């Protein structure tokens, strides 16, 4: 009873922060994103009826392994709840062994939980013999992934540019494709300025969001934004997408910074890149914009034609430690290449 899945992380343009329902993990609006081909999680899951306990290990891009326990934070607990949920649905009793390998830093705002939880659910259901019901139907897969605790993970269930639809109930909230990966040759250069795990995980941050005095203002602001962003993607309108995505980033971070306790993710490195991008936009006229998830690292979006120019300019920013070059990617898939 073993299976392996590969899932990409994604970068959100209209972002998910805060929830309508904390049990069903229902977001407060439709959110959308692009899958990233260089930020992948490969996860092998094996179930065995003679095992009493679960063993979960996550390894990052430099081979650092972390044993995950149910006593960990919210993010770690989501993994064990997900294993329990899958076992219950499959009427299986026994333990699981999970090994997840990522190609990028973990917990640093590059959507490691999106890639990791999505691959866990795909591999888990395939290992339990529920591939047809739960994995091969991408809408149902996306609902199941959302229940693992991450809406961003649910967006990785489909290829390319995707959106997770807003609904007030479980059935209505699922992911659909906006466009396939080859629709638009956008490039996401992730400027890594911090590798360490953030203090407030997104799993916890969602519970804090409505403590911000700007929460209601964000809800008003979000109205119609996902539709406009979808149009910008379909029309390949770079400037329209740039404005929507940058505004949404700053709007979301205003909520993060003002929640109690606050989730202040920006560092001096983040600001260095934001100011550099502002000057490239204003003084050079390069097609480039920023977007930032729950972390310090900056996703720098440009087109294939400008990839080398932006890469070079980013390399000259003193606080950039490394750059991950991403093209739009396919979503979750099952593979025969097991890690163990
Ligand atoms: O889905 P989660 O719980 O990993 O939260 C994602 C939060 C953001 O990355 C900040 C936004 C998003 O929509 O990806």
The stretch 154-169 carries a mean pLDDT of 97
Among 147, 294, 296, say which to mutate for ligand 1: greatest number of ligand atoms within 8 Å of CB: 294
DSSP symbols for 64-101: -EEEE-TTS-HHHHHHHHHHHHHHHHHT--SEEEEEEE
Among residues 18, 1, 331, 334, which one has the least CA distance to residue 178?
331
- Check whether 189 has a pLDDT greater than 90: yes
pLDDT bucket at 203, cuts 50 / 70 / 90: confident
Query: Which ligand 1 atom lies nearest to the CA of residue 150?
Result: 1
Closest residue by Cα to residue 332 from 141, 171, 165, 182 = 141
pLDDT the model gives residue 106: 85
pLDDT digits (tens, 9 = 90+) for 241-276: 999 999 999 999 999 999 999 999 999 999 999 999
Residue 140's alpha-carbon distances to 3, 137, 157, in angstroms, are 19, 6, 10
Give me the residue label for tokens 């920006």. Answer: 266
Cα torsion at 259, 251, 175, 115 (round to 10°)? -70
Q: Find the mean pLDDT for residues 218-239.
A: 98
pLDDT at 163: 98
Average pLDDT over residues 178-187: 98
CA distances to 75, 160, 229, 241 from 115, rounded to whole Å, are 13, 14, 22, 24
DSSP assignment, residue 133?
I
pLDDT of residue 202: 87
- Lowest-confidence segment of 70-74, 303-307, 308-312 by average pLDDT: 70-74
Which string of DSSP letters, residue by residue, matches 251-319? HHHHHHHTSSS------HHHHHHHHHHHHIIIII---EEEE--SSS-EEEEEEGGGHHHHHHHHHTSTT
* Mean per-residue pLDDT of the chain: 96
Q: Which SS3 state, helix, strand or coil, does residue 116 take?
A: helix
**113 pLDDT higher than 90:** no
pLDDT score at 149: 92
Let me know the angle formed at the C-alpha of 338 by 55 and 43, rounded to the nearest 5 degrees: 55
Which atom, in ligand 1's list, is nearest to the CA of 109?
9
Q: Is the pLDDT of residue 277 over 90?
A: yes
Indicate whether 107 pLDDT > 80. no
What's the whole-number mean pLDDT along residues 307-336?
A: 97
Report pLDDT digits (tens) over 59-101. 998 989 999 999 888 888 999 999 999 999 999 999 999 999 9
Pocket of ligand 1 (CB under 6 A): 12, 15-17, 31, 111, 113-114, 150-153, 202-203, 206, 293-294
- Identify the pLDDT of residue 73: 81
pLDDT at position 306: 98
Q: Mean pLDDT, to the nearest integer, of 326-335?
A: 98
Res 196: pLDDT: 79
Q: Which pLDDT score is estimated for 201?
A: 87
CA distance linking residue 84 with residue 335, whole number of Å: 23
């Amino acid at each position: 009873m073993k299976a392996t899945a590969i899932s990409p992380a994604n970068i959100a343009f209209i972002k998910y922060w805060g929830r309508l329902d904390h049990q069903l993990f229902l977001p407060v609006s439709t959110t959308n994103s692009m899958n990233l081909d260089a930020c992948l999680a490969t996860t092998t899951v094996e179930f065995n009826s003679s095992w009493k306990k679960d063993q979960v290990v996550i390894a990052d891009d430099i081979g650092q392994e972390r044993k995950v326990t149910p006593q960990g934070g919210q993010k770690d607990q989501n993994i064990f709840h997900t294993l329990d949920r899958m076992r219950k649905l499959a009427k299986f009793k026994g333990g699981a062994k999970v090994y997840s390998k990522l190609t990028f830093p973990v917990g640093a705002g590059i959507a490691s939980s999106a890639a990791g939880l999505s691959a866990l659910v795909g591999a888990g259901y395939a290992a339990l013999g529920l591939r047809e019901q739960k994995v091969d139907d991408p809408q149902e897969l996306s609902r199941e992934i959302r229940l693992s605790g991450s809406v961003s993970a649910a967006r990785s269930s489909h290829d390319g540019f995707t959106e997770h639809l807003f609904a007030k109930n479980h059935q209505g909230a699922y992911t659909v494709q906006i466009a396939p990966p080859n629709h638009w040759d956008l490039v996401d250069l992730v400027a890594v300025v911090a590798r360490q795990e953030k203090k407030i995980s997104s799993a916890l941050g969602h519970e804090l969001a409505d403590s911000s005095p700007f929460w209601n203002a964000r809800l008003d602001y979000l109205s119609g934004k996902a539709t406009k962003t979808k149009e910008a993607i379909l029309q390949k309108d770079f400037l329209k997408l740039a404005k929507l995505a940058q505004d949404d980033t700053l709007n979301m971070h205003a909520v993060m910074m003002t929640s109690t306790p606050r989730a202040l993710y920006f560092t001096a490195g983040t600001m260095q890149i934001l100011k550099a991008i502002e000057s490239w936009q204003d003084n050079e006229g390069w097609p480039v914009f920023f977007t930032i998830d729950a972390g310090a690292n900056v996703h720098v979006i440009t087109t294939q034609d400008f990839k080398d120019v932006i890469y070079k300019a980013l390399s000259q920013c003193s606080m950039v430690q490394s750059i991950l070059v991403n093209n739009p990617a396919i979503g979750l898939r099952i593979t025969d290449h097991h890690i163990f």
